[in-house]
Structure 1
Amino acid sequence: MAIENQTTQAIVWSRRRRVASVDIVHDLAAAETVWRSLERPNHSATPYQRFDFLAAWQRQVGHRAGLSPFLVIARDDVGRPLGLLPLASKTVLGVRCASFMGGNHSTFNMGLWEREFAATATELDLDALMALLAARDEADVLVLRWQPTNWGDLQNPLRLLPHEPSTVHCPVRTIEPGATPESLISKSLRRRLQRKERKLQPLAGYRYHIASDDADITRLLDWFFQVKPQRMAQQKLPYVFAEPGVQEFIRAACITRLANGGRAIEIHALECDKEVIAIFAGVSDGHRFSMMFTTYTMSQNAKFSPGLILMRDIIDHFTDQNYRAFDFGVGSHDYKRLFCKDWEPIFDSLIPLSVRGRFAIGAMSAVNEAKRLVKSNPALLDLAQNLRSRFRL
């Protein structure tokens, strides 16, 4: 019995000490080696948390918004990195807030984790991480929004912390092993898109392709930044790409080559010799494609649903590449639901690290609850959208 008690205590102690220390790094270059090591295949991370993606965002957008890198590296008792939280910090009304880098341009936010740790993490591990972070006294609250419950076949360890459902939703489609492109899109929808595409196919140089060289990428982005504001104005929506540094971030990430030869953001295009007809841009990791931004032509060719045709082409492409899932970003638009039949469970965590942080969380939770109320009430949602269009909220 004594031996069993000692063994049990040793196991509990080992569990408690699995996260033995944290480093808080305020410089991207200083964390780059550890960061990239946690992007390798035997780790768990979304493509939105790649170093190349978030470094471009921080330099072009985060810095201009007054955000400073706040990179949390969790280590075991021999100094081995178990995970990295790519956060940025800013003091708001006297409260030091740390949140995920990427802002609204990152559909999913998550830490980068050593695979075995992600698979077996417990509440004790996460409590230890938060206690060590609080002891450093460099932040009052962690505002961790838009987190997936799982990524691939692994849990998101941060779901073990207190959390609440996010106010945003993301339609997703899982691709079962052995699925064919035809099995993912109904026959009736395919026939409808084929009829529309017959109107486009006679156009000289009509094609679907993925932009592969820098000149192609630059040309397509020049077109996007010309057409997108027109589309947003037509829909009476604010043009988010006008915010300081956003265009520079998008261009830098689209041009940046990854170690596997791909791009931090890849562009899929439908075009002919005369014009670009539609584009979708997103991130992928060999298992899942996630769309970031899109638009389509202002010409008469828009009436043939080029965006839907391009979505079909993208789905067919990634199914042939044996991908396991795809999504077209947050938002419950009808066109997304044509292709994505399920919902990605997304949650937010508001974690206090100080007394000041506990007071701040009360106010943040109230705002979240108000957002959920508006989105669940069609009349309130319509009022909010009208106000936003009138006053650019």
Structure 2
Amino acid sequence: MANTHEMTVPVTRPTAARQPHPSGRRLTAHLASVADDLTALWQRLEDDPAVAFHQGRAWVEAWREATGANLCLVTLEQDGAAVAMLPLEIKRSCGLSIARFAGTAFSNENTGLLDSVRLADLAPVTADELALTLSQAGLGADVVLFDKLTPATAADAPYSALPKVFHQNPSFQLPLFADFSAVLAQINGKRRRKKMRVSERRLEAMGGYRHLIGEDDALALRLLETFFRQKALRFAAQGLPDVFADPAVRTFLRILATDRDANGRAALELHGLELAGGDHEGEIIAVSGLTLKHGHVTCQFGSINDVIAADVSAGELLFYRMIERAALAGHKLFDFGVGDQSYKRSWCPQRTELVDCYVPLNLKGRLAAPLIAGMIRLKRVIKTSPGLHRLATWLRGLPVRRQKAAAEPD
């Protein structure tokens, strides 16, 4: 297993006294619900390499179209010049209206759409000032939660003065180089190559395999539907609810898988391993979905067939081939996304502790904010305690087990 290095930031508190902007440096906010009104601005901000894929138009508009989310596009301006845009959705939970990044339940990192040049010149923005700005603009939420920010993003405007807690899950990354041997050298390349050769020999004995890439819609959707089936079986075997079972979530991913740019590249690129011969020829035994932005490749999800070719480590072999392809293409980082799992630790020499920031907009939000922060901290404690995590997993699967028991004949 590779050694991992934590990237951490101190947990900060909001500035107690409000520091007004110097004359002529006033921050304002404007709200819109139609993306077409902001096309040029969105495109300009999205082109910044530091902006996460999950705030791009492809992701946000697919989420809105599939789920009917209450989308609110917040533009922050300084003296009439846009410095940031925040694509938010507002949901009610336990009587509280919470604004979060659109589709954040399935994202791996958020940044917002930020103009880094103009923000560098922005006078300090206190938590109270940002709250007042958003409230005056008419954002209909009690509290705004900016989750899954990297420490670097959370340290800059407009988030720097907001109260912060560490997100319950870290994310994991593998730096890429043009020399693939240098990539593997970070994670015990000799052992990794040996494992790959063992997998390939076992697959050759079964008739060989093909690395599929969803370069047309038909193949992309075939791979995606295979993922849905494999993941459903996996969750059922673990006694857990299937987070991809919601028809709206499936529609969201189908839109991303078939949303192609001028070069024919899909917003969500599907990869798979298919058996090329033998009794199970044509069977797809592993699937992954990748997104790409400015050399940053992110694995959004993955699945394997637990029955056919169960001993070939199909998921590991697919990762090997995808990472090799990404490195040779000149990409800079392969991101395994949020969640602490052993296979991510084995691939990644880098671990990033993500940060959640929040800003209450009214009295209800101020009363609820400590509870929200406390819940995030509690989730982190559970995630980092093996015993508590096992208990939480068992409790999470209890409704599924009860439903299964009720469906079984007496």
Structure 1 gaps, min length 5: 1-11
Q: Which moved more, 1:222-231 or 1:50-59?
A: 222-231
Say if 2:30 and 2:137, in contact at 8 Å, map to a contact too.
Answer: no
Alignment of 1:80-159 (within 5 A): 80-118=81-119, 123-124=124-125, 128-138=129-139, 139-150=141-152, 157-159=158-160
Alignment RMSD, CA only? 2.7
* Counterpart position of 2:77: 75
* Counterpart position of 1:163: 164
Identity of aligned residues (%): 29
Sort the Cα spacing of 1:280 and 1:247 in 2 relative to 1 into closer, same or farther, 3 A: same
* Counterpart position of 1:232: 235
**1:258 correspondence with 2:266:** no
* Counterpart position of 2:221: 218
Alpha-carbon deviation of 1:321?
A: 2.0
**1:44 correspondence with 2:50:** yes
**1:281 correspondence with 2:278:** no
Amino acid at match of 1:46: A
Say if 1:16 and 1:128, in contact at 8 Å, map to a contact too.
Answer: no
Residue 201 (structure 1) aligned to one of 192, 201, 204:
204
Q: Which moved more, 1:314-323 or 1:254-263?
A: 254-263
Q: Secondary structure at the match of 1:329?
A: strand
Alpha-carbon deviation of 1:80?
A: 3.0
* Counterpart position of 1:25: 32
Say if 2:134 and 2:361, in contact at 8 Å, map to a contact too.
Answer: yes
Q: Which moved more, 1:133-142 or 1:324-333?
A: 133-142
Sort the Cα spacing of 1:349 and 1:392 in 2 relative to 1 into closer, same or farther, 3 A: farther
Q: Distance in 1 between matches of 2:213 and 2:338?
A: 23
Sort the Cα spacing of 1:177 and 1:155 in 2 relative to 1 into closer, same or farther, 3 A: farther
**Alignment size in residue pairs:** 374
- Which string of whole-angstrom CA distances, capped at 9 and with x for unpartnered residues, describes residues 267-320 of structure 1? 122213421121110211132111111111244312110100111111111111
**1:291 correspondence with 2:293:** no
Alpha-carbon deviation of 1:90?
A: 2.7
Amino acid at match of 1:53: W
* Counterpart position of 2:378: 370
Q: Which moved more, 1:271-280 or 1:246-255?
A: 271-280
Q: Which moved more, 1:278-287 or 1:292-301?
A: 292-301
Q: Secondary structure at the match of 2:320?
A: helix
Residue 334 (structure 1) aligned to one of 342, 350, 354:
342
Amino acid at match of 1:352: P
Structure 2 gaps, min length 5: 1-18, 402-410
TM-score (norm 2): 0.83
Amino acid at match of 2:265: G
Q: Secondary structure at the match of 2:89?
A: strand
Say if 2:177 and 2:331, in contact at 8 Å, map to a contact too.
Answer: no
Residue 241 (structure 1) aligned to one of 234, 238, 244:
244
Say if 2:178 and 2:327, in contact at 8 Å, map to a contact too.
Answer: no
Amino acid at match of 2:134: L
Q: Which moved more, 1:350-359 or 1:218-227?
A: 218-227
Say if 2:171 and 2:338, in contact at 8 Å, map to a contact too.
Answer: yes
Say if 2:108 and 2:338, in contact at 8 Å, map to a contact too.
Answer: yes
Q: Distance in 2 between matches of 1:379 and 1:119?
A: 45
Q: Secondary structure at the match of 1:380?
A: helix
Q: Secondary structure at the match of 1:212?
A: coil
Amino acid at match of 2:217: D
Amino acid at match of 1:44: A
Residue 54 (structure 1) aligned to one of 47, 60, 72:
60
Say if 1:19 and 1:125, in contact at 8 Å, map to a contact too.
Answer: no
* Counterpart position of 1:189: 192
* Counterpart position of 1:272: 275
Say if 1:43 and 1:113, in contact at 8 Å, map to a contact too.
Answer: no
Q: Distance in 1 between matches of 2:284 and 2:121?
A: 48
Q: Secondary structure at the match of 1:269?
A: strand
Q: Distance in 1 between matches of 2:177 and 2:120?
A: 22
Sort the Cα spacing of 1:92 and 1:337 in 2 relative to 1 into closer, same or farther, 3 A: closer
Q: Distance in 2 between matches of 1:281 and 1:353?
A: 37
Amino acid at match of 1:26: S
Amino acid at match of 1:390: L
